[in-house]
């Protein structure tokens, strides 16, 4: 099983600041099979990025993804009030599909 | 509009069974895989099972042999039969549509999610 470790656990930032979220895999992941989701309280997850750097439909360009091998990054260039949420990375290269433990982005 | 809608959650005793359903609209199961993902209270996301567009099924080790996915294409409905339920199966269960029509029939990233159905396993 490919274990995904996200850091930091919590990120405290102000609106307008840049957020950098990390996802590290225990085994190499093809960049074609790494996704990021956003989840707000009481809501289902929302797909942000797939194939590491492709934005899902309707996702603003302040969200970007990068990385390869075992290290992947989600960057939010300028935080908007609606961006404060929990973010999960997911690898879908091999079964079992696995998710990281999540990074909470909170208002400082 | 492309949507999925889960139903069937509830309270069940340890060792009991429950059948979840996922109704699809706006797309066909023969073109897109479906993924089940659960979230225990206050915890992160956990993949549970998937069924490819061709009907091949995949399960997490924690539910293999206890959960079974099936589908009725004509009714655009998918079911997940859950047996021998344990306290650790307590979670919100999400049905989610695969993002892409993929060569293997299963891509694995999900773009359309239901609102979730709550399963509580407790005596």
For residue B102, give every residue at least 6 positions away whose Cβ sits within 8 Å of its Cβ, in sequence order, or none: B33, B53
The tokens for A65 are: 């993804």
CB distance A92–B44 less than 8 Å? no
B104 in contact with chain A, both atoms CB, cutoff 8 A: no
pLDDT above 90 (res B119): yes
Q: Tell me the C-alpha distance between B48 and B92, whole Å.
A: 11
pLDDT at position B102 is: 86
| Chain B residues touching A88 at Cβ < 8 A | 44-45
- Answer yes or no: do B99 and A47 touch at CB < 8 A: yes
Comparing alpha-carbon positions, the chain A residue that sits nearest to B110 is A47
In chain B, what percentage of residues exceed pLDDT 70?
A: 100
Tens digits of per-residue pLDDT, B34-92?
Answer: 999 999 999 999 999 999 999 999 999 999 999 999 999 999 999 999 999 999 999 99
φ and ψ of B73, to 5 deg: -60, -40
- What are A13-41's pLDDT values in tens digits? 999 999 999 999 999 999 999 999 999 99
Closest approach of A105 to chain B, Cα-based (Å): 15
Query: pLDDT by residue for chain A (108 residues), tens digit each?
Result: 999 999 999 999 999 999 999 999 999 999 999 999 999 999 999 999 999 999 999 999 999 999 999 999 999 999 999 999 999 999 999 999 999 999 999 999
- CA distance linking residue A43 with residue A57, whole number of Å: 18
Q: Which residues of B touch A102 (CB under 8 A)?
A: 44-45
CA angle A61, B47, A7 (to 5 degrees): 50
Cα angle vertex B61, ends A49, B37, to 5°? 35
Model confidence at B105, in pLDDT bands (50, 70, 90)?
A: confident
Q: Which residues pair with B93 in a beta bridge?
A: B38, B117
- For the CA atoms of B7, B59, A36, B121, the dihedral, rounded to the nearest 10 degrees, stands at 50
CA A49 remoteness from chain centre: 8
CA A7 to chain centre: 10
pLDDT of residue B40: 98
Q: What pLDDT shows up at residue A13? A: 98
pLDDT band at B104 (very low <50, low <70, confident <90, very high): confident
**Closest residue to A88, CB basis, from B35, B45, B114:** B45
Average pLDDT of the residues of chain B:
96
CA distance linking residue A10 with residue B122, whole number of Å: 32
| Average pLDDT of the residues in B87-98 | 98
User: Where are the strands (E) in A1-108, listed by range?
Assistant: 4-7, 10-13, 19-29, 34-39, 46-50, 54-55, 63-76, 86-91, 98-99, 103-107
Instruction: Give the integer Cα–Cα distance in Å for A59 and B84.
Output: 40
Query: Residue for token digits 């990375």?
Result: A89
* Confidence at B103, pLDDT banded by 50, 70, 90: confident
């Amino acid at each position: 099983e490919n274990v995904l470790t996200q850091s930091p656990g919590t990120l405290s930032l102000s609106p307008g600041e840049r957020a950098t979220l990390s996802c590290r895999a225990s085994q190499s992941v093809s960049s074609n099979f790494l996704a990021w989701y956003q989840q707000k309280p009481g809501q289902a997850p929302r797909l942000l990025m797939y194939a590491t750097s492709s934005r899902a439909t309707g996702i603003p360009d302040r969200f970007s993804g990068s990385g390869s091998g075992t290290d992947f990054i989600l960057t939010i260039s300028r935080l908007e009030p609606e961006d404060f949420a929990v973010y999960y990375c997911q690898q879908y290269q091999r079964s079992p599909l696995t998710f990281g433990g999540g990074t909470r982005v909170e208002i400082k | 509009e492309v949507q999925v809608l889960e139903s069937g959650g509830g309270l069940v005793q340890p060792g009991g069974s429950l059948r979840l359903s996922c109704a699809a609209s706006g797309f066909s199961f023969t073109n897109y895989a479906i993924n089940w993902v659960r979230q225990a209270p206050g915890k992160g996301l956990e993949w549970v099972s998937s069924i490819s567009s061709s009907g091949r099924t995949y399960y997490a080790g924690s539910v293999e042999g206890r959960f079974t996915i099936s589908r009725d294409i004509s009714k655009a409905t998918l079911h997940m039969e859950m047996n021998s339920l344990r306290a650790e199966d307590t979670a919100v269960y999400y049905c989610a549509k695969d993002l892409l029509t993929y060569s293997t029939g299963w891509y694995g990233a999900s773009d359309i999610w239901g609102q979730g159905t709550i399963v509580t396993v407790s005596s």
